[in-house]
Amino acid sequence: MAFNYKKFNPENANVWDAFIDGSVNGTLFHTRKFLSYHNQDRFQDFSIEFYHKNKLFSVFPAVDIHYEGKRTLLSHRGASYGGFVYNEGLSIREAHDLVGDLVKMAKEYGFQKIMMTLPPVIYERRLSNYIDFALIKNGFQYQKREVSSIVRLENSIEENVSKFKQTNRTAFRKAQKLGVEIRQSEDYEEFYRILKKNLKIRHNVQPTHTLEELIRLKTLFPNKIRFFGAYVKSEMVAGVVMFDCNAEVTLAFYISHKESMQEFRGVNLLFYHIIKDAIEKGFHYLDFGIFTVNMEPNFGLGRFKEGFGSSGVLRDTFILDI
């Protein structure tokens, strides 16, 4: 199948985002609203629109960067996930030809590499690995395969709790007995202080977003980015920032707690409430995020997430030398 393709025109941002909303696999991270919150001089956008019979068929968010000394089309530097977004019913032929046309366009514009990170398959409303297969058939290779912890949401919180490890059930019940209160709030500033200190102590790194960026994202997505805090009296002891990525999946983007208040088990009670809330909102999965970095597992972090009944799915990054 032949597609017409062209670079994204910023004037088409609303059409792009409407396409994401109606797609089978698009996420918050694919929207122009999310991608444009970055300073415009931070990335050189090279997103692509694919058309069939003058109708928008697929979108591919991307940037033009240099990677390992080569001009690279990357999907996407400013987001957790990239890759093709498309409507329900994508055929194997269409997937194959989309990838082929992407390679063709990249060659025309002088790129030397293509890289993309696909959302885990749970983000698809209709499960499909057609794009993965098409990438391999068109010469792409796996650059890395990270593991993301995911919790399948059952029909009730009781069913999910039955899949918790005993230590996790004991922990959240202890928090309840100690009077820990969970509430959704806008106290991002206090949480950010906890997060920044925790990341510095544990990993000597900074959060992905500055506080200003996080607040701006919350402003852009007031109903899709939510903060849950655990409080002892008026003191925040832990918090989780959730990104509702699409109708299928809600993602725990930031998780942190005060080391000095760990005995209150705030994180454990938080996820009891977050899972309950996600079930009520109709999500099918809670994504805890990856516990591997460049395919090196943090077994302790994996074990912590498994305590809530999680299992692992792959988050793949593909690469092609043109």
> pLDDT tens, 53-78?
889 999 999 999 999 999 999 997 77
Q: Is residue 306 one of the residues assigned to a domain?
A: no
Beta strands in 210-300 (DSSP E): 225-232, 235-244, 249-257, 285-290, 292-293, 296-297
Same domain, 113 and 191: no
pLDDT band of 260, cuts 50, 70, 90? confident
Q: What percent of the chain has pLDDT over 70?
A: 96
Q: Quote the pLDDT of residue 196.
A: 87
- Residue 300 within any structural domain of the chain: no
Residues 248 and 125: their CA atoms lie apart, in Å, by: 7
Between 207 and 290, name the one with better pLDDT: 290
pLDDT at 204: 62
Domains of the chain: total: 2
Helix (H) or strand (E) holding 37: none
Domain match, 140 and 88 both: yes
Put residue 295 in one of left, alpha, beta given phi > 0 → left and psi -120 to 50 → alpha: left
Task: Please indicate, yes or no, whether residues 105 and 222 belong to a single structural domain of this protein.
Answer: no
Asked if the peptide bond before residue 76 counts as cis, ω within 30 degrees of 0, the response is: yes
pLDDT of residue 76: 79
Q: Please, which residues have CB within 8 angstroms of residue 48's CB and are 6 or more apart in sequence?
A: 5, 6, 7, 8, 59, 60, 62, 102, 105
User: What's the pLDDT score for residue 205?
Assistant: 67
Q: What is the pLDDT of residue 69?
A: 92
44: domain CATH number is 3.40.630.30
169 pLDDT more than 90:
yes
Residue by residue, DSSP assigns 217-239 as HHHH-TTTEEEEEEEETTEEEEE
Residue 41 CB: number of other CB atoms within 10 A?
A: 6
Q: What's residue 259's pLDDT? A: 86
In a domain, 288, yes or no: no
d(CA 290, CA 297): 9
3-state helix, strand, coil in the chain (%, to 5): 40, 30, 30
79 and 212 part of one domain: no
Distance in angstroms (rounded) separating the CA atoms of residues 231 and 247: 29
Q: Are residues 116 and 57 in the same domain?
A: yes
Query: Residue 209: inside a domain, yes or no?
Result: yes
Q: What is the mean pLDDT of residues 148-169?
A: 97
Q: What is the DSSP letter of 273?
A: H
Q: Let me know if residue 113 belongs to a domain.
A: yes
**Do 167 and 129 sit in the same domain of this protein?**
no
Q: Do residue 131 and residue 180 come from a single domain?
A: no
pLDDT at residue 197 greater than cutoff 90? no
Q: What's the mean pLDDT in 217-230?
A: 96
Q: What is the pLDDT of residue 136?
A: 98
Q: How confident is the model at residue 200, as a pLDDT?
A: 60
Q: How much is the average pLDDT of 230-255? A: 96
Q: Within this chain, do residues 162 and 279 fall inside the same structural domain, yes or no? A: yes
25 with 117, same domain? yes
- Asked if pLDDT for residue 201 goes beyond 60, the answer is no
Residue 297 lies in a domain: no
Full residue range of the structural domain in which residue 265 is found: 154-283
Rounded Cα distance, 292 and 120, in Å: 14
Asked if 267 contacts 238 with a C-beta cutoff of 8 angstroms, the reply is: yes
Cα separation of 272 and 222, whole Å?
23
Output phi, psi for 143, to 5 deg.
-85, -40
Residue 77 lies in a domain: yes
Per residue in 77-131, pLDDT (tens digit) is 778 899 999 999 999 999 999 999 999 999 999 999 999 999 999 999 999 999 9
Task: Over range 248-252, report the average pLDDT.
Answer: 97
Look at residue 255 and tell me if it is in a domain.
yes
pLDDT band at 45 (very low <50, low <70, confident <90, very high): very high
Residue 164 and residue 255 in one domain: yes
Q: What is the pLDDT of residue 206?
A: 75
User: Is the same domain home to 97 and 164?
Assistant: no
Q: What is the mean pLDDT of the chain?
A: 93
Q: Are 35 and 46 in contact (CB under 8 A)?
A: no
Measured distance CA(250)–CA(281) in Å, rounded: 10
Helix axes 266-281, 166-177, angle to 10 degrees: 100
Same domain, 60 and 95: yes
